[in-house]
Amino acid sequence: MRYWLMKSEPSEYSIDDLARDGSVAWFGVRNYQARNFMRDQMQVGDGVLFYHSTCAEPGIAGLAEVATLAYPDATQFDASGKYFDPKATTDSPRWFNVEVKFVRKTRLIPLAELRDAPELATMRILAKGNRLSITPVDPDEWNFIQRQF
């Protein structure tokens, strides 16, 4: 089992939306490294820290889990959509997504609070310049977050 941190802007899709819907396709990822995490490494049952980004107070807002293996992201084929990729074809898709399902909300664990925990010093979300929307989480980091927050 692996663990992941997946960022979403709450104005686009929040933990409350996931709680309401039960599950969602994690569409619109247009970074090759994040795509590769989904396509090549994510497995059904992997744990997910649902992270609110690009908002007044970014932080972990809940827990989810990977519900499907990766499959082609349909938004790459929609010529009228913001995630359209003219180089993608149904025979040779460039972008993939998984579905994640809701586990539970947590209190918001702000970025500043994560930075204050020495046990999380090497967590990728805390690295300078990290802008990836999906990052692996070390099992020790996952366990610490589960115990402390």
- Spell out the domain ranges in the chain: 3-148
Tell me which CATH homologous superfamily contains domain 3-148: ph1033 like domains (3.10.590.10)
DSSP structure class, residue 86: T
Share of the chain above pLDDT 90, in %: 96
CA distance 58 to 55: 6
What confidence tier does 129 reach under pLDDT thresholds 50, 70, 90? confident
Maximum pairwise Cα distance, the chain: 47
CB 64 within 8 A of CB 102: yes
CB 62 within 8 A of CB 19: yes
CB 144 within 8 A of CB 119: yes
Structure tokens at 61: 């807002």
Structure tokens at 67: 């519900």
Instruction: Average the pLDDT over 61-89 and give the result.
Output: 98
